[in-house]
Each structure stands twice: as C-alpha cells, then as structure tokens.
Chains A and B, each alone.
Chain A
Amino acid sequence: MAAHLSYGRVNLNILREAARKELREFLDKCAGSKAIVWDEYLTGPFGLIAQYSLLKEHEVEKMFTLKSGKLPSADVKNIIFFVRPRLELMDIIAENVFSEDKMHSSRDFHILFVPRRSMLCEQRLKEQGVLASFVNIDEYILDLIPYDGDLLSMEYESAFRECYLENDQTSLYHTAKGLMTLQALYGTIPQIYGKGDCARHVANMMLRMKREFAGSQNQILPVFDTLLLLDRNIDLLTPLATQLTYEGLIDEIYGITNGYVKLPPEKFAQKKQGAALSKKAKIISAAFEERHNAKTVGEIKQFVSQLPHMQAARSSLANHTSIAELIKDITTSEAFFENLTVEQEFMTGVDTDKVNTYIEDCIAQKDPLIKILRLMCMQSVCNNGLKQKVFEYYKREILQTYGYEHILTLNNLEKASLLKLQTSSRNNYPTIRKTLKLWMEDANEQNPNDISYVYSGYAPLSVRLTQVLARPGWRSIEEVLKLLPGPHFEERQQLPAGLHKKRQQGENRTTLVFFLGGVSYAEIAALRFLSQMEDSGMEYIIATTKLLNGTTWIKSLMDRPESQIS
C-alpha cells in the first residue's frame, strides 16, 4: 500500500502503520456510522496516513470541510471533528454544534485533536457552552508523518515563525514528543548532536522525557546511530536561493503540497490535474541549469523510464516529460537567468554592500514582493547585514511601491535576522564560505561529485555541516561553528546492555537529520546524494517541521493586516 516508505534503509512504514492503527482504534471507539468534519489543513497530511477506503471500512460515510454555519445533513450516528487545536476553529465548531442541536438530537459529537488536545481549546468550547455536547474528546498524536522512504515532516506550517518571532516553542515540544515516539518504534538513538538554540531545547526535552520514562527500558535494537538537530536559523541562506534540482524546481515554480503538485492542466494530454511526484527523480536536476544545456528531453525520458516502479505507470512517464518541458521553458528564460546570476553574485560575495540594480529594477517593474524580499534577505545574509543607507533605501522602495503595511513584515524579517543592519564592519560570511567550501567553482552537474550541484555551485551550509559531522567531525570546524548562532553540543543516551549494535564490515551508519524550522527539497536532494556516495559510509533520513521553499518560508513570516480587515 505504501511501498515507497519501505524501500529505504529505515522502514518508515512501521511509523505509518502505527499511526493507522491508532486512527482505527479511535474510529472504533465511536460505534455506528460516522461523518467526519475536516479542518481543511489536515486533509493533506491525513491523506498520507490513510485513504478514504480505510475510513470507509470503519463506517465513515460522509466527509465535510469545517465551515461556519450549519452542518450539512447526513444520516449518521456520529459527527467527528478532526481539527488542529486552534481557538478560531473552536468558534466554528461551536457554531456548528449550536445550529445542529435544534434539528437533530440523536447525533453524537466527537472531537479529535491533531496532534494534541489543548486545555485552551477545551476551555473555549466550555465558554461557548458546547463542551458538554461532546461524547468524546480525544487526541490523535500525529507528529511525524512519513512523506517518503527517507523523509518525515510534521507539516507544522508556523514552526519557524513561532520559534523565532513569537518565542512560542510549542512546535519544539511536539518535535521532542515526535522523536520519543520514533525512538519507541526504532530504538533509542545513542548519539545526539545539535547546533542552535532550538536544537538545544529539543535535546533537553528529549533527555528529560527519557528520564521521566526511566524504568521502562526500550528493548528495540537501535535503527538510527545518530540524531542531528539543526536550527533553521544557522543557515538562513539556503532556502532563500532558487533550488535547481528537478523536484526543487517543480516546488519553486508550482509548489508541492503534501507530495502533490498542481500543474497547468492544458499542458497535459490526459485530464490529470495533479500528478503524484516520484521522489526518485533526484539527479535530473542538472539538466535544467541554464548555462549547460547539455541534457535533452530525450535523455530525461530515458532516465525516467529506468525507474522500475514507473514503468508500471506509463502515463507517469509522459507526465514527467511534460513537466520537464514546462520547467525547461521557464529555466531557459532570460528573467530566470538574470535572477540566478544575482543570487550567485550574492553567494560569491560580489558587490553585496551596494544597492543592487537588479533588485531596484524588479521593484520598479513591480515584480512579486516575495521575490524582492528573497533577494534582499539573501544580500543581507551574505553581507552579514546591510549598510544603513542600503537597508533604508530598500525598505523605502518597498513601502512606497508595495504599500506601507509591509512595515510589519519588514520588522518581522528583521526580528528573524533575515534582514539586518550591519553593525560590525566585519563580514563573517566569506570566512564561513571558504572554510566550509560553500562555493564550488567547478560544479559538475552531469556527474555530480559534490553536493554543490543542487544549487549549481553553492553547497547548502546545513548539509555541509552534516557532511563534516560524519567526517572528519565538528572539532575541525570549531571556529566556524562559533560564528553561527546558538550552541553546538553532543549528548549520549545510554543503551541497555545487549543493544549495542555489532556492525558488519562495510555496513553504513544511519543518521537522522532533523531540520527545526523547515527544509528545502534541494537540501533533501543534497543529503540523498551524500547517502548514495559510495565512500560516505552514512545513510541519511531527513525529518523536519515543514517542507518549504524560499517563497512559502517568507510568506509564513509576513504580516498582512489587510487580510485581517475582513
């Protein structure tokens, strides 16, 4: 059923099955026919755990989207609300329940909070006078959702914003809980490394939770050798850059949500609106890089046809070819090239302390604000802050062109250190770039030999740190680590005697890399590349609070008061 989850080094299907089992148990608690009212945000993640057929087997007859007003009529015994614990949703539920009671009286109401129940929400329902109407209030602990054989995400959209703007560490608590669940299924992870304040906080909570469970020793042979916790804010640059891998480009251009992408339908012969993406397509990326137009669509076709599980679905082949053509149209455009050139100038440190004419022109042409912000943030990060004159010039340009309300967004970006005023004359970025070899002049995109191929020359800092940790170890880069925000640390978790792994000769080690605050598809591609490198000796499983790209990330940090008017 979910075969794509079990082909990897770690069988993530176990996690999915555990989640399905719990869902079934909950559904069986409500005897009789049911209708589910969905918090729309949850449908995507849930789709990865259980299809409609599973729900149907457990007498789910109808599904609705949570909306204010009256619930649609359905001849069922139970109405179950599947919601995130958010106050505004409680108000809608209350409205639903109120308008319902007058019509029918025999329907039972239930709430399933995902991923955790909340006292605040229950309090709210109580204030609204509907708490007593619920037969059953429960929680469905769905922290880490398997997206692929080596990829887990919590799809916690606001994690970065909450951690860095609002000092709200709820997402980190869920992360720690999720990691405990993972350890319960896959064994205690003996080594924990981390960099950043959030990483430290998560590790502390994990160690505390382990102490709290002292006595109930986990007797599972550890699957993971190492856990690496990385704060997103130690590497703000990477997600800002345009991803140049196949999957990354699809995400940049069309946006991938919960493993699905919506493509312009007119381009596809079949009446398909969305195409499930195969995560296998990792290496084609290079073909789309503007300057080396070497790979032809034909070659892509050939590559795609090699993927065994795709041969089964011939339409998939056609889809990917069409997607590749669509993307090629864009990546060969002059606009794409110019943008990329500026990005690469920033990353290599060219003229980062001056007002950039390209950004200026883009503002004058009223290009999308997020594009401007991405470039500006990139320049700021690569220059360790902008000079006051440059900074204020950009800000005025934005306020005058896009409206003064964006002053709040600019403040937010400043708070998250994505934009900042240069305070010291010293720019750390070149030092970091050189020490960690973040820029590789001779990036080989046809036969990559370094992770820098994913950004066509730029090696993601986050992934470089991961790579160095595996070999030769962080001790070799102490100085650079000190330049990055937050502490770096190492912790060990005792294993019960007898669970120490006896490693076979040549057997790879497995590291779980957890990106707190989000990870981009290009970073995932880079880690996959490392896993596949013959001499790396390391396999990576990737986990994150949210799969993101520069656009969705910046969007999550914007304040749009106009949307609050309505």
Chain B
Amino acid sequence: MTFITANWNPLGEAFYRKSELYEMCWNLRDGLRDCLVAAAPYGGPIALLREPVRRSPSSRPQLEIYSASGVSIASFPWKSGPVVHLGWTRHFSMGQEVVQSQVLEAKVFHSPYGTGVAIVTGSSRFIMATNIDDLKLRRLPEVPGLQGKPSCWVVLNQDRQTKVLLSTGSELYILDNTSCTAVSLPGLAPQGGSIVHMSVSFSYKYLAVLTDSGHLWTGPSHLQDKMSEVDTKKLTPPKQMVWCRRPKSQQPSVVLMWDRLLMVVGVCQDTIQFPTEDQCVLVGEMDGVRIISSTNQELLQEVPLVCQEIFKIASMAPGALLLEAHREYEKSSQKADEYLREIKEQSMLGEAVSQCIEAAGHEYDPNTQKSLMRAASFGKCFLTDFSPGQFVTTCRELRVLNSVRESSVGLPLTHTQFKQMTLQVLIDRLVYRQFYPLAIEMCRYLKIPDYQGVSRVLKHWASCKVQQKDLSDEAIARAMCAKVGDSPGVSYSDIAAKAYECGRTELAIKLLDFEARSGEQVPLLLKMKRSQLALSKAVESGDTDLVYTVVTYLKNEMNRGDFFMTLRNQPVALSLYRQFCKLQEQETLKDLYNQDDDHKELANYYVTASYREKRLESRLSLLQSAVDEYNKAKNEFSAKATEEEMRLLRFQRKLDDEKGAGLLELSLQATMEALLALGLYKQAEQLYRDFRVPDKRYWWLKLKSLAEKEEWDELEKFSKSKKSPIGYLAFVEVCMKSNNKYEAKKYVSKVTPEQRVKAHLAISDLDGAADAAIERKNDSEIATVLSRCSAADRLLIERLNRASTAKK
C-alpha cells in the first residue's frame, strides 16, 4: 500500500507508471527476435509470425495467435508468400494490381469507418482501402520523385478523410484522393535534418516526427502548430515510436524504443529512461502503451489525475484524506474522526467519495481497488443524499474487469478502454473466444435484457456446439434443449440451419423440433428435402400461403402420383390445392377427385363443366358423366334431376328446331310459360305430365298465362277441367289484376266459404262481402268489411254493426 507510488516516475508536472499486466504464459524459444508481431488494441490478442522471410521457399512459417496473456488460441502454417506486415483485420483480398506489383510496405489502421489498409507497391504507388468491410481500393496520386519506398509514412484521419503523410527524407508530402501536396512542419529547427520516423496518436490528433539528428518534433496532426521539439541526443533511429496519452492528458508523451532502451519523451521536454533487457513490442492504446516482451507484459501510462491526487505523497486532496481516515478507522484509531472532520469542514465529503470511486476504477490491483472502495463506502455513511449509482456501477464493472483480466482469459482492459469499447463489444469478444459460461455469468450479473445478453451468448454457443464432431446428434440436441430451453430470441431454426451447413441433417431436424414457430421451420426443411415434414409444419402454422409455398414446391419436385399421395395425407393442403385448381387447373381437379373416388364432387365437377360448354352434344355427354357419378355416389335425387335436365334440353332443342321457339337455357317452368304464351298448349301439357309438375304450380302458371293473353273462354274451360288445386280465389284475383271484373265475378261463387269475403271484396262487392261475413258470423271478417266501408255506406255499416252485436 505504502509503495503504491514506488513505480511512479515524474514527467514534468505529471507522473508515469509502468505496471506489470502479465507474466507471459507462452514459451518462446528465441524470444521475439526475428518475429513479426501484431497486437490488437483494447487488450486484444497477439499474432506472431516467426521468421517471415524464410531462407527456403518450401518451408512454411507458423502463424500463431495468443491471448494478451500469452495463452495460445490458434496456430496454423502460413501458406502464402513472404509477409511484409502483420495487422488485425478480417479476411479479404486486395485484387490483381497488388498481386502483380510487389507490396513493399503495409499498414493496418483503425478509424471510425472501420479497419483500413494502406500499402506501398513496388512501383512506389500508394493503394488504400478505408474500410475492408466495404472494400473500395483507392489508388492515390503519384508522389513526385519517389523511388522505392518512402523513408517513413503514416496514415492520417482528418476531416472525415483518410490521407497519407509521407517523407522522402527531406521532403514531406500529404497524399489525399486527388492530390499530393508538399508540406512542412511548423517551427522545426533548420538543423533538424531529414525525417526518419513518424508516429500518429491513437486518436489521429497528434503527430510525432523524429529526424536523423535525433530531434523529436510533436504537434497536432493538421500541421498548423508545434507543441514541442526535444533533442533526444540519439542518432540511431528507434525500432518503434508510439504516442502515450490518455483522455485529458496533463503531460502527453512519445515513447521511443531502441534495442536496450525505452525513452519516454514528454511534451514538456522532460524524459524518463527505462533500460530493457529483452526484445520488446509496443502497442498503442487509447490511454497508454502496452510493452510486450517474451517474458512479461507491462502497461505504461500517465497516472490519472485522480490517482495522483489521492496517492501523491502528502496530498491533502479530499480523497486522500478519506482514504487515510478509513485506514485509521480500521485501526480503531480516533484519528479517523479528525480526518473526517477536516474533510467535512470543507464540505468536501461528497467530492472525496467520488474521488475514491473514480480512482478505484483506474487501479489495476484488486487490493488497491478494495481499499479505495471501502474508503468510499465508509465516507458514504456520513452523507445523506449521495446517489449510490456511481458506487454500485463501479463495483460491478470492476468485478467484470477483474475477471476478464484473469490470465486465463487475458483481456487486460483498463476501465477507460472498457467504457469506450462498451459492454456489448466485450460480450461479443468473450463469445468469439468461446468463454460462454463467463459471458452468461456476466450478462446475468449485470442484468442485461435477455435479447442483448444471455440469448445472444446462447445463440453463439449453440451454433458452435453443433459443429462439435465428436458428439452424437442425440447428445447435442439434448444439451441444446437443456441450455437454450425457450430463451427468447434464440431461433432454433437458425441453429438448425447452421447444423445443416455443417452437414448434420439429422441433427438439424432434431433441432427444428424445438422451434416454436412452425413457419420458420419450413424453408429449411424444404432445403433439406424433408418435404413431407415441411408440409405438415406449414399446415400446423395455419399460414395458408406457406402451405401453398410447400405445395408448389412439391408439385415441381415430385412425380404426380407421389404428389397426390402426399396431399392425400394432408387434408388441409389438399383442400387448398383443390381451391387453386378450381381457379387454375380444372383438369387436375378432376384427377384429384378421381383419385379419391369422390364421386359426388366429380359429378358436381361435370355439372359445372357442362355449363362452360356451348355445344349441346358435349353438354349432354358431360351431364351423362355427371349422372353416372351421382349414381356411383348413391345420390339418387341428383342423378334423376340431372337426367331430367338432359330430357328437358333434348325437348327444348327439338322444339327450337321445329318451331323456332328459342327455349334453350330456359328453366322447365319458363319453358312451359313460353309454350303457353306461344299457344302450344299440348306441348306444355306434355311437359307438365312428363316432369310430374305439381298441379298447384301448373295451375298457377296456366291461369296467369291465359289471363295475360286475355283468353277468357279458355280460362273458363280450364277452370272447369277439374277441381282447382289452388282454389278459385286465385282466379278472381288474377282476373281483377287484368281489370276484368266481369270474368272475376264468374268465379266468386266457386270460392270456399272461408275465402268468400275476400273474394267479394276483391271485386269491390261490399254488399256481397257483408252478406258472406254475416252469414259466417265471423267478427274479424265483419271488421274487415267495416274497415272498407266509407261514410256513404251508412246502411251497410248499421247492418254489420247489428250483426256484430246480435252475436253477442
């Protein structure tokens, strides 16, 4: 504890510290000598390629990937040609031109637009891709007078443009998309000499330039200003030169590395020198520099201001006092109270707690973190309105950070980096490294909603699990079901698709069974040629369009027989297909009914078809088929009715031919009506008898027809032909409809007693009606007659009233 400042080195006003992150787990025989090394920022993994320039072309160097703590992650032989530069990107190709002309130098860079690559070709041209996920190669303009590769160059990111700053020794150029502009460094001393090394800061905001006379120039990267110029007094060019800054840096610096020396050069012109034993590699981070050697890894950084304030010897900052107070408190010393009082008198307790919490975030050692957090917690007790948010969050985040910093995981993230990178990305990185349990624990611990947290991890776990060749389908499916269960947002069909991609069809089918959304299962099942299963899943989903999709697919894939058989086992699909056929393929419809021996539907089909037919002969033959099918279906009525229809059609044609009657398409009733209208009574009679038309209907028809033609004699004859099945009131009414009162009267007497009043009223014979009503002694009839009387019928009214009262 007391020695917390032991590794602090002053630089100007500020301090720099170099603390060990890991003892490397790897065992490198030859150290880092003759190796190409690339380490990804944000505590990322390290790629190592031994002896990139091989003596013999046949031997293949090994490309090894380690975690930041040196745990081997992967290793594979490098099969392509000699390697110029190693950087972290995704897989991609840079096209033909690059292949033809040799790559002299390359740089991988990261910007807000993604990861980019810039190279110098053998013809001294720069080619650049700003974002390899959206690969567009740009060939930059020619640099005047450049032969071979430039003495040094960097990629700059300014004003949303990616540019190259290069030096040919004496000259400095900026290359952008369209032009190559010569520039100069403001305020560089004339004796400076030619440029041998350049470095741009993590944020692309600052530039450091080293000349062959050992002068280090620093300034903003837009080259409008100068920050400082320091003489390093070293004439040999360094191996690496990297910016070391942090957000809100008090004292930014540039770190230069030679074979046995590490020099931190502050902008304030102060320097710190560290001797080094071993070959090292520097990795720039947003808040420091990682120094990787074959045995260990250290983090060099400017001590954050809040830590300086707390830990600086004899500091009187509130945080420092609080820490001291807590220390005394633990020793049960009353001094604790004194310290606390001092802070409280200045009303700085809130500030003190905040400082301790913030400092804890920046400390790498868990013991230091703990003592700071305890102090904060202690201070919090004396505050009434301090929001616990910051304290709780920091506690949680530190727990997460400490667990990923573990050597077995090997993510040496600082709190600042973690905040910048976000939790989502951290989870993704853990998932890619297959630390599933840790990732899930973390999601649960931080209470991330399932969709963004646990489910995402499980999804990745599942698609990785299905690739494990040594496990049986059964075992994987079981494990999957147990782990994934019905976690929201994990799609079993996606996992199944992955399994299928890996050639595990059976597993895919098993997994699809867990999928709740039947609709989702269908496309994959079709792809795997499990069409029957796909069909039943589609039916299950209730989505008829999906059923059609499968049916259409099956129709094209299968022979007709199999297709029909498949449909037969799926009534819903069959009905839908029938619907489709009704609209599109009438012939197929017939085949379907035939296959099912559905005689009734087949008969209906023929009937429908007959109406589309214009020629009578074909129509009759279709109807005959319908009759046969109705008979097979034991539908006697329909068979007979259809036979009748055929008989009628033949009759109509005969008469049309003989008399030009125009009967075709008319119903039986309409046919008889037409015949009567034409005076063809005999033929009408024939139909009446042949088709066993009920008397009532025929009598109505003939009655109306004769009245319409005003054939009154014929009507009278008809009325006497036999007893009317429709009674005689109908005769009265029909005659009256033709306004023939005279004829109507003839039938009044024949009307049944019950209807007599109505009949008399129909011919407006009030007296007759009154007589009938009185005779029948029927009150409601008397009332009906009364309601038809007008004031002029006074006598009649009296008579009716008398009859009515007499009855009572």
Q: Which residues of A contact B (CB under 8 A)?
A: 85, 87-88, 116-120, 123, 162, 166-170, 172-173, 176, 201, 204-205, 208, 211-212, 214-216, 360-361, 363-366, 392-393, 395-397, 399-405, 407-408, 411, 559, 561-562, 564-565
Q: B651 an interface residue at 8 Å Cβ cutoff?
A: no
Known: A166-B578, A215-B451, A407-B638. Contact between A561 and B611, CB under 8 A? yes
Chain B residues with CB under 8 Å of A564's CB are 608, 611-612
Cα A166 to Cα B666 with chains together (Å): 30
Could you tell me the distance in whole angstroms from the C-beta of B44 to the nearest C-beta in chain A? 33
Q: List 9 A-B contacts (CB under 8 A).
A: A360-B696, A364-B700, A364-B701, A392-B637, A396-B641, A399-B645, A404-B642, A405-B607, A411-B600
Q: What residues of B have a CB within 8 angstroms of the CB of A405 in the complex?
A: 607, 611
* B517 pairs with A212, CB closer than 8 A: yes
Binding site for A on B (CB under 8 A): 450-451, 455, 486-489, 516-518, 541-546, 548-549, 552, 571-572, 575-576, 578-580, 583-584, 600, 604, 607-608, 611-612, 637-638, 641-642, 644-645, 648, 666-669, 691, 693-694, 696-697, 700-701
* A364 adjacent to B545 (CB under 8 Å): no
Q: What is the CA–CA distance of A468 and B329 in the complex, to the nearest angstrom?
A: 75
**Residue A169 contacts which of B544, B638, B642 (CB distance < 8 angstroms)?**
B544
Question: In whole angstroms, what is the CA distance A453 to B89 when docked?
Answer: 79
Closest to A210 in B: B516
Bound-state CA distance A118–B552 (Å) is 13
Measured CA separation A378–B611 after assembly (Å): 29
B543 near A120 (CB under 8 angstroms)? no
Question: Shortest beta-carbon distance, B408 to chain A, in Å?
Answer: 33
**Which A residues lie within 8 Å of B607 (CB)?**
405, 407-408, 561
| Chain B residues positioned under 8 Å from A401 (CB to CB) | 667-669, 697
In the assembled complex, the Cα of A402 lies from the Cα of B608 at a distance in Å of: 16
From B451, B549, B697, give the contact of A364 (CB < 8 A): B697
The binding surface of chain A is classed by DSSP as helix
CB proximity of A453 to chain B, nearest CB, Å: 27
> What is the chain B residue whose CB lies nearest that of A118?
B545
Contact of A119 among B545, B576, B584, B691 (CB under 8 A): B545
Are A215 and B488 closer than 8 Å at their CB atoms?
yes
Most buried by A among B451, B543, B552, B648: B543
Instruction: Other than A403-B667, A407-B607, give 16 A-B pairs with Cβ distance below 8 A.
Output: A87-B583, A117-B545, A118-B548, A120-B552, A120-B580, A167-B571, A173-B543, A208-B518, A360-B694, A364-B697, A395-B637, A399-B645, A400-B669, A401-B669, A403-B666, A408-B604
Chain A residues with Cβ under 8 A from B543's Cβ?
173
Q: How far is the CA of A116 from the CA of B543 in the complex (A)?
A: 11
Closest to B630 in A: A407
**CB pair B642 A407 closer than 8 Å:** yes
A268 to chain B, nearest CB (A): 31
- B584 and A87 contact, CB distance less than 8 A: yes
Which secondary structure characterizes the binding site on chain B?
helix
Partner of B691, one of A172, A216, A400: A400
Measured between beta carbons, the chain A residues less than 8 angstroms from B666 are 403
**List of A residues within 8 angstroms of B584 by Cβ:** 87
Give the Cβ gap from A388 to chain B, nearest Cβ, in Å. 9
CA gap between A176 and B542 in the complex, in Å: 9
CA of A562 to CA of B576 in the docked complex: distance in angstroms?
24
Whole-angstrom distance between the Cβ of B298 and the nearest chain A Cβ: 45
Q: With a CB–CB cut-off of 8 A, which chain A residues contact B696? A: 360, 364
Across the interface, name the chain A residue whose C-beta is closest to B703: A364
- Contact partners of A205 in chain B: CB under 8 A: 542
B667 touches A400 (CB 8 A): yes
Q: Which residues of A contact B694 (CB under 8 A)?
A: 360, 393, 397
Whole-angstrom CA separation of A212 from B537 in the bound complex: 14
B455 nearest in chain A by CB position = A215
| A119 and B572 within 8 A (CB) | no
User: Knowing A167-B575, A395-B641 touch, does A88 contact B667 (C-beta < 8 A)?
Assistant: no
Query: Which B residues lie within 8 Å of A172 (CB)?
Result: 542
A319 CB, nearest partner CB in chain B, Å: 33
> B700 contacts A365, CB within 8 Å?
yes
Which partner residue on chain A sits nearest B518 by CB separation? A208
Min CB distance B687 to A, Å, is 10
Complex formed: what's the CA distance from A117 to B549 in Å? Answer: 12
The answer to whether A119 touches B641 (Cβ under 8 A) is no
Bound: A118/B548 CA distance, A:
9
Bound CA–CA A179/B541 (angstroms): 16
Q: Do A168 and B548 touch across chains, with their CB atoms under 8 A apart?
A: no
Q: How far is the CB of A554 from chain B (nearest CB, A)?
A: 18
Q: Which residues of B contact A88 (CB under 8 A)?
A: 583
Contact call A562/B544, Cβ cutoff below 8 A: no
Instruction: Say yes or no: A565 contacts B612, CB within 8 Å.
Output: yes
A214 B488 Cβ-Cβ under 8 A: yes
The distance in angstroms between the C-alpha atoms of A517 and B701, with both chains bound, is: 39
Report, nearest first, the 7 A-B pairs whose CB atoms are least far apart: A215-B488, A561-B611, A167-B575, A404-B645, A403-B667, A400-B668, A170-B544
The distance in angstroms between the C-alpha atoms of A118 and B546, with both chains bound, is 9
Given A168, A366, A408, which contacts B669 in the complex, CB threshold below 8 Å? A366
Q: Choose among B541, B571, B641, B693 the residue that contacts A407 (Cβ–Cβ < 8 A).
A: B641
For A173, what are the chain B residues with a Cβ–Cβ distance below 8 Å?
542-544
B648 touches A404 (CB 8 A): yes
Asked whether A168 and B488 contact (CB < 8 A) given A401-B668, A404-B642, A404-B648, the answer is no
Q: How far is the CA of A564 from the CA of B586 in the complex (A)?
A: 13
In the assembly, what is the distance between CA of A395 and CA of B635, in Å?
A: 13
B612 near A215 (CB under 8 angstroms)? no
Bound state CA distance, A430 and B645, in angstroms?
Answer: 38
Which residues from B are CB-within-8-Å of A170?
Answer: 544-545
Given A205-B542, A411-B604, check contact A363 B697 (CB 8 Å). Answer: yes
How distant is the Cα of A395 from the Cα of B700 in the complex, in angstroms? 19
A167 surroundings in chain B (CB, below 8 A) = 571-572, 575
A residues near B552, Cβ cutoff 8 Å = 119-120, 123
Q: Output the least CB separation between B35 and chain A (Å).
A: 48
Judge whether A562 and B611 touch: CB under 8 Å: yes
Q: Which residues of B contact A392 (CB under 8 A)?
A: 637
Q: Which residues of A contact B579 (CB under 8 A)?
A: 162, 166, 168
Kindly provide the distance from the CB of A541 to the nearest chain B CB, expressed in whole angstroms: 24
Contact between B612 and A561, CB atoms less than 8 A apart: yes
A residues within 8 A CB of B701? 364
A contact residues around B668 at 8 Å (CB): 399-401
Least CB separation from A173: chain B residue: B542
Task: Contact check, B608 vs A400: say whether CB atoms are below 8 A apart.
Answer: no
Q: Tell me which residues across on chain A come within 8 A of B667, comparing CB atoms.
A: 399-404
Q: What is the CB-to-nearest-CB distance from B579 to chain A, in angstroms, rounded to a whole number? A: 5
Residues of chain A with a CB closer than 8 A to B549's CB: 119
B450: A residues at CB distance < 8 A: 215
Complex CA distance for A562 and B612, rounded to whole angstroms = 8
- Give the residues in chain A near B487, CB-CB below 8 Å: 215
Residues of chain A with a CB closer than 8 A to B516's CB? 208, 211-212, 214
Would A166 and B575 count as touching, CB distance under 8 A? yes
A411 to B642, CA, bound (A): 13
**Measured between C-beta atoms, what is the minimum distance from B454 to chain A in Å?**
11
**How many Å from the CB of A313 to the closest CB on chain B?**
40
Q: Determine the distance from Cα of A271 to Cα of B609 in the docked complex, in whole angstroms.
A: 47
Per the bound structure, the CA–CA distance linking A396 and B648 in Å amounts to 14
- How far does the alpha carbon of A170 sit from the alpha carbon of B545 in the complex, in Å? 8
| Distance in angstroms between the alpha carbons of A169 and B570 in the assembled complex | 14
Contact A216 B637 (CB under 8 A): no
B544 touches A561 (CB 8 A): no
Known A-B contacts A166-B578, A364-B701; the reply to A120 vs B545 at CB < 8 A is: yes
Minimum CB distance partner of B611 in chain A: A561
The minimal Cβ–Cβ distance linking A461 to chain B, given in whole angstroms, is: 28
Q: Answer whether A404 and B517 are a contact pair too, CB < 8 Å, given A214-B486, A215-B488.
A: no
**How far in angstroms is the closest Cβ of chain A from B703?**
10
In the assembled complex, which residues on chain B have CB atoms less than 8 Å from the CB atom of A407?
607, 638, 641-642
| Contact, CB under 8 Å: A168 / B608 | no
A324 CB to closest chain B CB (Å) equals 24
Residue in B548, B576, B607, B667 with the greatest tally of chain A CB atoms within 10 Å? B667
**Residues on A with beta carbons closer than 8 Å to the beta carbon of B604:** 408, 411
